[in-house]
Amino acid sequence: MSNQPPHAPRHHHQGQHLSHHAPTHPPKNDEDTPIDQLRAELGAQSLQFGIFKQQLTSQLTALVQNHNALIQAHKTLQQENKLLRDEVAHQRAELATLRSEVHAAVGEWKREIRWAGTFMQGMWDHIQKLWTELRTVDDRARSELFEWLSELDTN
């Protein structure tokens, strides 16, 4: 009544190769034999193992991808770190050059200040000498003026 062909009966070869003392009971068609049960259990475990293997493979693939991304990021960071170290070394060299130039300029500035101080001291001494001479000339001129005025008064 069904459109499917009938199942072939299960054949269990037990009788001829087993000892003559072992009883042979053919299994019933509607019950699973222990081998059928083992096959079903093995199939279920194989399916579970396949699922586990697929999940593990997926996780390992993700880990490998993450690992590769981390390696690439590490390489990039190393390159950037080298560039930064090179830039820091360059900046330090420039700073050392500037520091040397500043020290040289300060030394030159100090020499110029000493020279200017010496020059100003010489100018100050000259001004004082001129002032003294001017006072002497002024005193002499006043003295002569007063003398002349007093001669005018007496005449």
The count of other CB atoms within 10 Å of the CB of residue 27 is 14
Q: For residue 15, which amino acid is it?
A: G
Rounded CA gap, 42 and 44, in Å? 5
The total of structural domains in the chain comes to: 1
Would you say residue 151 lies in a domain? no
Mean pLDDT in runs of 10 for the chain (155 residues)? 50 47 54 88 94 97 98 98 98 98 97 96 96 94 90 81
Structural domain boundaries, residue 115? 47-140
pTM above 0.95, yes or no: no
**Confidence at residue 73, expressed as pLDDT on a 0 to 100 scale:** 98
**Confidence at residue 152, expressed as pLDDT on a 0 to 100 scale:** 84
**Confidence at residue 24, expressed as pLDDT on a 0 to 100 scale:** 56
Would you say residue 150 lies in a domain? no
**Confidence at residue 3, expressed as pLDDT on a 0 to 100 scale:** 53
The count of other CB atoms within 10 Å of the CB of residue 14 is 13
Would you say residue 57 lies in a domain? yes
Give the gyration radius of the chain's Cα atoms.
60
